Structure 1
Amino acid sequence: MRWGTYFAVLASVLSVGLALGVSMPLVSLRLEAWGYGAFPIGVMAAMPAIGVLLGASLASRLASRLGTANLMRLCLWGGSISVGLLGLLPSYWAWLALRLALGMILTIVFVLGESWINQLVIERLRGKLVALYGSSYALSQLGGPILLGFMGTEADYGFWVGAALLAVSPLLLLGRTGAPTAASSHVTLRDLGGFCRSLPAIAWAIALFAGFEAMILTLLPVYCLQQGFTPEVALAMVSTVVVGDALLQLPIGALADRVSRRRLFSGCALALTATSLAIPLWVDTIAIWPLWVLFGASAGGLFTLSLILIGERYRDDALVRANAHVSQLWGIGCLLGPLAAGAGSQWISGQALPLLMAAGALGLVILSQRPKAFGPQAAVA
């Protein structure tokens, strides 16, 4: 196994998490300060989803022409420019276009990066090493709000730090090998339908976690402000959710190499249901802090286990295409989650965000009990 390449690819993807973690909450807090309500902020959070769908459909074709490593470097530099322009163009409509571009560009990075990592790892270490990727990515996102809290939200330092990270990280990929090969093909929504029919529980979990992540970085700060917390406490709560996501991914990955991955998956879905329902009840108590940890851990565990299950089934172009479908589902989740939560928060209930997560997680609990929910290989995973 190419350990140097594994950590180089890991670090380049982590730079994306840190850049998004330091810049995306700043976007939402800035919009809230400008007087925008939950729904337009939700629209802003959902805009990258359209870019995600575009990027996922093009990843395999562009990688076959430019090479995986070359394409990843170009997309990271493109992301750097887009994040920098967020600071230079303080306009709602300009930010919509830039968020669209970021969604498309960085989706290609995730498709290729996750495929590269899953191609590199050996089977007996798959759970641990994929979980290390998930945990490290969560920690990189955690570092963003923490760093933003130290820098403050009044100036645009978050945008400049994010742009710098994305500008430097492509250098880590110079000379790296072992990337999966890709065919010059276009991944369509019809292909996605076949993927969802083959692995319905995994498809649901990915879309659910995508909505979770989009809402946590964009709408959770606003939700916390609406509950009466200060911006500093709101950012701390976002960071606590991400801590939960990061802390338990390695134990979950280690368990995935030893116990039934299907049972572990169902347990995470049940835990996410319970914690989501408890948030409105405990938000004004000290118990909300450990609850945020469990909330993030259960959601992150679903995504980590989904990547593990995908990695054990596919290789090379099939793996790239499968991860392109992951990104398509990510786009759908990022689009529908913030829009539904934003609209619900503004016009139905201020508790729409946790209640929406509870409904999605409960649906996953029910789906995961179906015999073929994880595909034909689930019984031996």
Structure 2
Amino acid sequence: MRWGTYFAVCTAVISIGLALGVTMPLVSLRLEGWGYGNFAIGVMAATPAVGVLLGASLAGHLAARLGTTRLMQTCLLLGAVSVALLALVQHYAVWLALRLGIGVALTMVFILGESWINQLAPEKWRGRLVALYGTGYALSQLSGPLLLSLLGTDNDSAFWTGTGLLVGGSLVLLGRSGAPRVDAHGASGRGLFAFCRKLPAIAWAVALFAAFEAMMLTLLPVYGLRQGFTQEVALLMASVVVVGDAALQLPIGLLADRMSRGALFRACGVLLLVSSLSIPLLLHTSVIWPLLVLFGAAAGGLFTLSLILIGERYRDDELVRANAHVAQLWGLGCLVGPLLTGAASQWLSGHALPLVMATGAAVFVWLIRRPGGFIEVSTQKT
């Protein structure tokens, strides 16, 4: 086990979470202050998802040409430049283009970084090591809104902070080796439909968590404002959701190494369904705070377990290809979730955000319970 490489790769990917956590809410709040409606904000939130789909198709070809480590470093630096330009050129159309570029660059880091982490993890520790990475990533997102509260939303300090974090993430990868072997077609994203048909519950869980993450950082603060909370409380709500995601991922990882991963997967789906339906009912009570913790933990558990279940099935090029499919599904979730929620919030219901999540959780529960929806396997590759 290459512990130094493991922590370096985790740090590089986690730097993205902190950079996005401090900049994405600021983008939404700026648009809110400029008078844009929920749908326009939802379009901005969904734009990186198009970049995710492009990045998933390019990662394998570029990694084969440049090498995994060099490509990850280059993409982190390109992401840093794009975030810096958010501060320098503040115009809606320009921001759309920049967010697209951020989606392309950082997706390739996620595909290769998460493949690298899963490749390094021994099977007996896979749940804990993947969960430790997930905890670190969730904590970085938690720290983002809190850091934004300290930096303030009336200046561009958060954008420059995000730029510095991405540059630092690139530097920690200097001299690292041992990444999965990738050929020119390894992460091309071909075969997404077959992947979804083979592992439908995992595929849906990834897309659902992607929608959840995009909406928590971009639309949840706006949802809080529209429901009568102050900006500080609305940002705190987003942070508390991520607390739940971060706090319970390690326990979920420990359980994944000791019990049926399928049963744990199902339990997270049921908890997400119940907590989503409860949010509109308990929003203005003190119970909302522990409920938001459970809401975040359940959603985060779905993604952590998806990565664990993929890691126990695949290695090397197949693992990178599977993570390219994860990225494509992530892009679809990030694209559809904010657009659907933004439109529904503006034209159907002010509580569209939790209701969309409840609908997605209900579909997951149905998928994992139906015949062929989920196949729990031993640790050999399939």
Please report how far the alpha carbon of residue 171 of structure 1 lies from its aligned counterpart in structure 2 after TM superposition. 1.2
CA distance in 2, matches of 1:344, 1:182: 41
1:344 aligns with 2:358: no
CA distance in 2, matches of 1:178, 1:138: 25
Which stretches in structure 2 are left out of the alignment for 5+ residues?
none
1:221 aligns with 2:184: no
TM-score, with length taken from structure 1 = 0.98
Is the contact made by 2:187 and 2:324 (CA closer than 8 Å) also made in structure 1?
yes
CA distance in 1, matches of 2:181, 2:189: 22
Post-superposition CA distance 1:78-101 (Å, at most 9, x none): 000000100111111111001100
Q: Secondary structure at the match of 2:109?
A: helix
- Partner in structure 1 of residue 103 of structure 2: 103
Which deviates further from its counterpart, 99-108 or 164-173?
164-173
- Partner in structure 2 of residue 11 of structure 1: 11
| Percent identity (aligned) | 66
CA distance in 1, matches of 2:314, 2:379: 17
CA distance in 2, matches of 1:379, 1:359: 32
CA distance in 2, matches of 1:149, 1:376: 43
- Partner in structure 2 of residue 183 of structure 1: 183
Post-superposition CA distance 1:210-263 (Å, at most 9, x none): 000000010000000001111111111100000000000000000000000000
Which stretches in structure 1 are left out of the alignment for 5+ residues?
none
1:82-93 mapped onto 2 (5 Å cutoff): 82-93=82-93
Q: Which amino acid aligns with 2:93?
A: W
Corresponding pairs, count: 381
Q: Which amino acid aligns with 1:315?
A: R
Q: Which amino acid aligns with 1:69?
A: T
CA distance in 2, matches of 1:251, 1:307: 15
CA distance in 1, matches of 2:121, 2:178: 11
TM-score, with length taken from structure 2 = 0.98
CA distance in 1, matches of 2:283, 2:2: 46
- Partner in structure 2 of residue 244 of structure 1: 244
1:39-54 mapped onto 2 (5 Å cutoff): 39-54=39-54
CA distance in 2, matches of 1:133, 1:64: 25
Q: Which amino acid aligns with 2:20?
A: L
Using a 3 Å threshold, how does the CA distance of structure 1 residues 45 and 123 change in structure 2: closer, same or farther? Answer: same
- Partner in structure 1 of residue 144 of structure 2: 144
Using a 3 Å threshold, how does the CA distance of structure 1 residues 25 and 323 change in structure 2: closer, same or farther? Answer: same
Q: Which amino acid aligns with 1:261?
A: R
Q: Which amino acid aligns with 1:153?
A: T
1:312-351 mapped onto 2 (5 Å cutoff): 312-351=312-351
CA distance in 1, matches of 2:46, 2:339: 6
Post-superposition CA distance 1:309-332 (Å, at most 9, x none): 000111111111100000000000
- Partner in structure 2 of residue 299 of structure 1: 299
Is the contact made by 2:50 and 2:100 (CA closer than 8 Å) also made in structure 1?
yes
CA distance in 2, matches of 1:320, 1:379: 17
1:112 aligns with 2:119: no
CA distance in 1, matches of 2:160, 2:232: 20
**Alignment RMSD (CA, Å):** 1.4
- Partner in structure 2 of residue 157 of structure 1: 157
1:58-69 mapped onto 2 (5 Å cutoff): 58-69=58-69
Q: Which amino acid aligns with 1:16?
A: I
Q: Secondary structure at the match of 1:90?
A: coil
Which deviates further from its counterpart, 279-288 or 183-192?
183-192
1:72 aligns with 2:72: yes
